Chains A and B, each alone.
Chain A
Amino acid sequence: MSSGSNRSRSLGRLPLLARMLLLPRTWTRTREGMIENRPGLTILSHVVLMLGVAIIAFPVYLTFIASTHTVQEVLAAPMSLAPGGHLVENYLAALQHGAGESTAGVGRMMVNSLVSALVIAVGKIAISLLSAFAIVYFRFPLRGFFFWMIFLTLMLPVEVRILPTYKVVSDLGMLDTYAGLTVPLIASAKATFLFRQFFLTIPEELAEAARIDGAGPLRFLRDVVIPLSRTNIAALFVILFIYGWNQYLWPLLVTTQEDMYTTVIGIKRMTLGGDAAVEWHLVMATAVLAMLPPALVVILMQKWFVKGLVETEK
């Protein structure tokens, strides 16, 4: 009795988290075997995860809150952490007129971002699917050479060849066009590998049967290979849409006219011009608008997103 009260008194001096860890351990017998229960550790897990979620979410919460205030309320350090009452008018103003140095509306920029992201995603998938089909289903001179050529593009990200690539695009008259924003980015070694890897798992009997039935390669591609690749295409689409939407360096180089800016570029221009001149409430509304489409794609298509992420890295 006395030793028990001693024990609880000494426990009382420990921090709360340490005390939780000392909750008694029990065992549960299940069909698979013994499972150890440590209620203390489970509570600690939830505490750590909730803390993680809160820290990860805080910057975006703050962005959203700032987008619902007037600029005076945002500048009044410290800004209130409760939502303000100007959500609708701020978003309408940003969509129609933009902010600060940039006078193009964010509505126009969202259209540019959407067109670029879709063209990049669909373009990458289409040309990679065709290349992988050629490499897997045909034998022809220079096949290995072409394969290695595609592989080498992995080692040439846009960042390491900025200036000469810009010059090529400008010589071709592609500055300030959708083609300039998208075509230079649509070669894809990773997507080509992914399709090649997948095609190698398609049973050979299918191609054999198609040949015996007199179906040509393009018919086989359309009726057998593409339908079988549906889940791979969906997974790649999610990853590539995000990639296209979030491009920064490339659109920064090839767009000079405001009506060709993408949302991500536009937001940076809005923050130029010194602290006092920046319309932070509109900048933050634009940031929310720029995050929304890719974040929705990740959350709504989570299963495909995870599949795409894991498989393109293999």
Chain B
Amino acid sequence: MAIEKRARFASQWLPYALLAPQILVTIVFFFLPAGQAVYQSVHIQDAFGGNLQFVGLDNFSDLFRDPLYLASFRVTAIFSLAVAGLGLAISLVLAVFADRVIRGAGLYKTLLIWPYAVAPAIAGVVWMFMFNPTLGIVAYWLRQRGVDWNYLLNDGQALLLVIFAAVWKQVSYNFLFFLAGLQSIPKSLIEAAAIDGAGPVRRFATIVFPLLSPTTFFLLVVNIVYAFFDTFGIIDAATSGGPGQATEILVYKVFKDGFKALDLGGSAAQSVILMIIVITLTVLQFRYVERKVQY
């Protein structure tokens, strides 16, 4: 809120009327439900769906004693780190080369950015089709090479499958931001280093990559948020959290416990934990924006 306008209009009611639709939606569909989740997370409901009883933090301590919940935390950690790490590495390589080529650069860009438009659930279906043990063509190739591929039975393979699908969808986003970051590095710096005899690898390691670090940090946070919250469709369509709980990330577990198992208190406590995670990640993201403004 640094810059303010001097010239303003005066009205007792108009600003409220202009804000009303947004605030109404915000209260009814965001704050009421979020408040409800916090309220339910410290209560339990008796078996007849009647009285709510205040139980303090019992729902939370139950969760952290539940091996299934801890397993879901572990799966989420592996999944999001793999998606962020792999996604950033692949798109950085593509962006570095796309930044180099002069002929065809625009065409490559167009051909690399469209997976952003594919819905996560569709990405899940498409990758599941490719790797399906009975009819998938990639599964067939893998078996020809002696790999015993069946993601319906093998935990690690199922996790790999959803990681691949999630990375595939996110590469275009990372690519665009890396390319923009690379293009904003002054060419004179690179030329000076080239004339001094630094080769392409050395120039990348000592000049380009350090100058790109704000973009990399920003993308790291965005990718972790993406892996946590925007991959529900991929998981539901490709593996439905299975086999067992092998691909059940936290968001999937909230949904399953709330809607299928109808465990209100436990699901609400999980929601509150997720809120704390989002708040942490959002604060991280905004600290990055502050730093960038100072440059």
Contact = CB atoms under 8 A, between A and B. Distances in A.
Interface of A: 32-36, 38, 41-42, 44-46, 48-49, 52-53, 56-57, 59-60, 62-63, 66, 74-75, 77-79, 81, 126-128, 130-131, 133-140, 143-144, 146-147, 149-150, 152-157, 159-165, 167-169, 183-184, 186-188, 192, 199-200, 204-205, 207-208, 211, 216-218, 220, 242, 245-249, 252-253, 264-265, 267-268, 271, 275, 280, 283-284, 287, 290-291, 294-295, 297-299, 302, 305-306, 309-310, 313-314
Given A268-B236, A310-B177, 18 more contacts: A41-B100, A49-B104, A56-B168, A66-B129, A78-B141, A127-B21, A134-B16, A134-B19, A146-B23, A156-B34, A160-B278, A163-B258, A183-B29, A187-B25, A207-B8, A268-B237, A294-B117, A313-B177
Given A138-B15, A208-B7, A268-B236, A275 B126 contact: no
B145 interface: no
B227 interface: no
B207 interface: no
Interface in B104-135: 104, 108, 110-123, 125-130, 132, 134-135
B72 interface: no
Chain B interface mostly: helix
A161 B34 contact: yes
Chain A interface mostly: helix
B133 to A, nearest CB: 9
B113 A59 contact: no
B52 to A, nearest CB: 14
A53 B125 CA distance: 20
B154 interface: no
B132 A160 contact: no
Interface stretch (B60-68, B79-87, B187-195): B187-195
Contacts of A62: 126, 129-130, 137
Contact of A204 (B6, B26, B108, B267): B6
B5 A153 contact: no
Contact-size category for B: 35 or more
Given A155-B275, A248-B120, A291-B118, A59 B130 contact: yes
Contacts of B16: 134, 140
Interface string B1-36: 101011111110011101101110110111111101
A307 B6 CA distance: 29
A217 B26 contact: no
A49 B94 contact: yes
A47 B206 CA distance: 25
